[in-house]
Amino acid sequence: MSMNCCATSVPHHGSFKALPQAVAAWQQRLQAGLSRSIQASDQTMGHLEEEILHQTRDLERRVLEEAAQKKAEQAPPVCPVCGHKLSRVTQGHERSYQTRFGVITIRRLRGWCRRCKCWRFPADYQLGLAEAGSNSPGVQEMAALVASKLPVAEASAVIERLTGVKLPRATLDREARRQGRRAEGQRQQMDEQMSQGAGAEQQVPELRLARPREPFLLVIELDAWDIRERNEEQWGRAEELRQKGQEPDWWHWVYGGTCFRLSQRVKTAGGRSLILSRGTVMTRGGIDALKQQLWAEAMRHGLGQAQEVLVIADGAVWIWNLVADRFAGARQRLDPWHALEHLWAVAHALYPEDEAAAKAWIKPLEEKLLKSQAVEIITELDGLLKRLRGPRREVVEAQRNYLENNRDRLDYRGAKARGEPLGSGAMESTCRQYQVRFHRSGQFWTKQGDEALMCLETFWRNGRWSLLFPHVPPDFDPSKN
Ligand SMILES: [Zn+2]
C-alpha cells in the first residue's frame, strides 16, 4: 500500500505517540489548577469539578484526534460505495470536525473512482462522516437530542454549559434538522420493509423474548392535537388577513397512535398504570402517513400474531375509518370521558344556569354508562326528545345520535372485567407531552421542520435512538429510566 507519507507521521499500531507527552502536560496543569482551587476558601467541589473538566478537555481532544487519524488510515484505497479500486490517489487531505472535545483535524486519502465517476475519501466512511457537515457523530447526536427537547435558542446555551461544545444556534438548528430528515428516511425504510413482509427482525426485542404461543391482546389507541406552524405564504400577513376577516391558518393537526400488549400494562406500587413496552407514532403528515406508520408499529408489537386487537379512541370519524381500513376485525371502544363530554352537552342544554342540577342529572347516567347500559341512556334521551323543541332539542338529538352511532363501542363493564384500559388515556398523555414541547411559545416551524423534530422525539421515546446513532449502546432506552 502506498500510505507511507501518513504512516511516517503517525504509527499504524502500538502506542499513541501524543499520549505520554499530553498526559504529562495535563497532569501538570491539573495539579496546579486543583491546588489553587483547594487553597481558595471561597471555592467548592463545583469548582474542582469544573477545573478537572476544563483541564482534561485538551487531553481528550488530542487522544481523539490521534485515534481517529489511525482509524482513517485503515481505510483501503477502494471506493466505499462500489468497491472499485481508486486511482489518482493522493494523501493528506485535511478536514476538521467539531467533536465532543473540541475541533480536531484529520488527514485523509483521496482517490478517483472510475466507476462512480467521482472523488472518494474512504476514511470518511470508516469514521461515520460520509455525509456533509463538519460535526462528529457525537455532536450530531447532541444536536438532535437537545434540539428535539428544547427551543434552539436555549439548546445552544444548554449544550455549551453541559458539554463545553460551542454550537451556534444556526449550526445547531441545521444539524438537528439534518438528523431529523435522516430519522424520517430511516423510519420510511423500516416501515416499507415491514409492509414487504421482511420486518421480523424489527419486532420489539422484549416482545420477541416472550413465549411465542401465549395468546395476547394488542391495544391500539389513537388521538390528534393541533400545532402552530409557520405558513410560508401567510407569515407576516396576520394583520392584513385579519382586516379581511380571515384567520391565518397556522394551526394544523398532528395525528398520533400508540400500541402495546395488554400483558405489558402493569400497576405500580402507587396504583398508577404503567406500560412496560409500547410503540408510539406521531406525524404531521396527515391521516395516510399515520395509517402507514401505525400499522408498521403495530406489526412490531405483534399485530400478525395477536389473538385479538382492541382500538380505543374518541369518536372522531377519521379514526374509525382508519380502523376499518387497516385494522378490520379489531374490537372498538369509545373513550368513556369523551362519551361523558357528550352527556355534559345535554346536561348544559337542559340546565344552562344551574350547574348543580346539571350534575344531579348526569350522575345516574354516568353510572349507567360505566355499567355498559348505553341502551337505557339512549332511551332516556329519546324520552327527553318527545318534550323538547328548538335549539335544545337539536343539542339533545345530536348527542343521542352520537351515542347511538357508537353503541357497540361502549362496553366498559366488560373492559373492567377483562382488566383492559377503559379509555385512551395513555395516548392522550403522550400527546400532551409532545404538545408541551411543540407548543412552547415562540415556536413557529414549517411542516418539514416539525415532522423532522417529531420523528427524532419518537425514535428517542420508542427506545430506538441507537438505530440512528450506532455509537449509542443498543440497550439504552429512556423510557426505562
Ligand atoms: Zn465507486
The whole-number pLDDT of residue 257 equals 96
C-alpha cell recorded at residue 150: 428544547
Quickly list DSSP for 240-258.
HHHHTT-----EEEEEEEE
Distance 64 CA to ligand 1 centre (A): 29
The whole-number pLDDT of residue 236 equals 63
Gap between the Cα atoms of 45 and 24, Å rounded? 24
Distance 117 CA to ligand 1 centre (A): 7
CA dihedral 302, 307, 313, 318 (to 10 degrees): 80
Low pLDDT (below 70) residues in the chain: 1-14, 199-200, 205-213, 228-243, 245-250, 440-447, 481
The whole-number pLDDT of residue 6 equals 46
Distance 98 CA to ligand 1 centre (A): 28
Distance 81 CA to ligand 1 centre (A): 5
The whole-number pLDDT of residue 230 equals 59
Distance 82 CA to ligand 1 centre (A): 4
Distance 126 CA to ligand 1 centre (A): 15
The whole-number pLDDT of residue 141 equals 96
Q: Which residue has the cell 457523530?
A: 137
Distance 114 CA to ligand 1 centre (A): 7
C-alpha cell recorded at residue 385: 326528545
Distance 182 CA to ligand 1 centre (A): 23
29-56 residue pLDDT tens: 999 999 999 999 999 999 999 999 999 9
Q: Which helix (H) or strand (E) holds 270?
A: none
The whole-number pLDDT of residue 250 equals 63
Distance 239 CA to ligand 1 centre (A): 55
C-alpha cell recorded at residue 107: 488527514
Gap between the Cα atoms of 9 and 17, Å rounded? 9
Distance 86 CA to ligand 1 centre (A): 8
Distance 111 CA to ligand 1 centre (A): 10
Alpha-carbon distances, residue 397 vs 346, 380, 392 (angstroms)? 9, 12, 9
Distance 112 CA to ligand 1 centre (A): 8
Distance 99 CA to ligand 1 centre (A): 28
Distance 191 CA to ligand 1 centre (A): 29
Distance 131 CA to ligand 1 centre (A): 16
Residues whose CB is less than 8 angstroms from the CB of residue 293 and which lie 6 or more positions away in sequence, other chains included: 187, 191, 257, 281, 283
Distance 130 CA to ligand 1 centre (A): 14
Quick check: pTM over 0.95?
A: no
Distance 3 CA to ligand 1 centre (A): 20
Distance 79 CA to ligand 1 centre (A): 5
Sign of the C-alpha dihedral computed for residues 359, 360, 363 and 365 taken in this order: negative
Residues whose CB is less than 8 angstroms from the CB of residue 64 and which lie 6 or more positions away in sequence, other chains included: 99, 100, 101, 104
Is there a contact between 410 and 339 (Cβ–Cβ < 8 Å)?
Answer: yes
Distance 94 CA to ligand 1 centre (A): 21
Distance 280 CA to ligand 1 centre (A): 39
Distance 364 CA to ligand 1 centre (A): 74
